[in-house]
Structure 1
Amino acid sequence: MITCYLRYEIDPTKIGEFEHYARLWIPLVERFGGRHHGYFLPHEGASDIAVALFSFDSLAAYERYRERAAADAECQAAFAYAERTRCIRRYERSFMRPVFDAPAPKESFVV
């Protein structure tokens, strides 16, 4: 499994618009086989940083999602909404391997 970590720099005067954009994408990712873990909007601290996390079974599954999303009318409408409202200034995408559960450690570590 891989998790896509998206870090957005957003316009802090357009958090409502970004939240609408986020709500558009959650069901789209899931419709294409992903598991969305949510968007995380500014609350305390930096007012222009938001994060999204979603997982796919593999990088290949993620690539299939990207291909299908590029041709999907609802996905294109979501992209157009962000562009029209200019709620996103820029974003970074990283891929990580999640650890959801782990067995108890075999060794004790003393600090």
Structure 2
Amino acid sequence: MQDTFSSLAYGKLLGKSRNTLKTDVVNMLEGCNLRLEDVKVDYNQAFTPMGMVVQFQSWRAFDNAARVISRKGRLYKLERANRSQWDNLTSYDGKTVLFKESLKLLLQKM
């Protein structure tokens, strides 16, 4: 039988604002040993962020993150997620472009 406390755990972080960065999540969940690679943003079809899926090194780290969120009194909600939610998200590694702003800048130059 596999020890559930030693396998990877996944959670979906809800309640974040449109401007929340991966670094904000990593800093908020200090003590959970997260890296930027452990956080993926879930976008809808209009590229609006809907939440973040976080990969934890263990279920203990997931439980610790839930305690950190409740202790800091944030308006975030951490739900359990499964690996398929993590695998289905594309990681852009900071290579995304906000087309709306790029278009606005291009039109201003004309």
Structure with greater contact order relative to length (CA < 8 Å, sep ≥ 6): 1
TM-score (norm 2): 0.43
TM-score (norm 1): 0.43
Greater per-residue helix proportion: 1
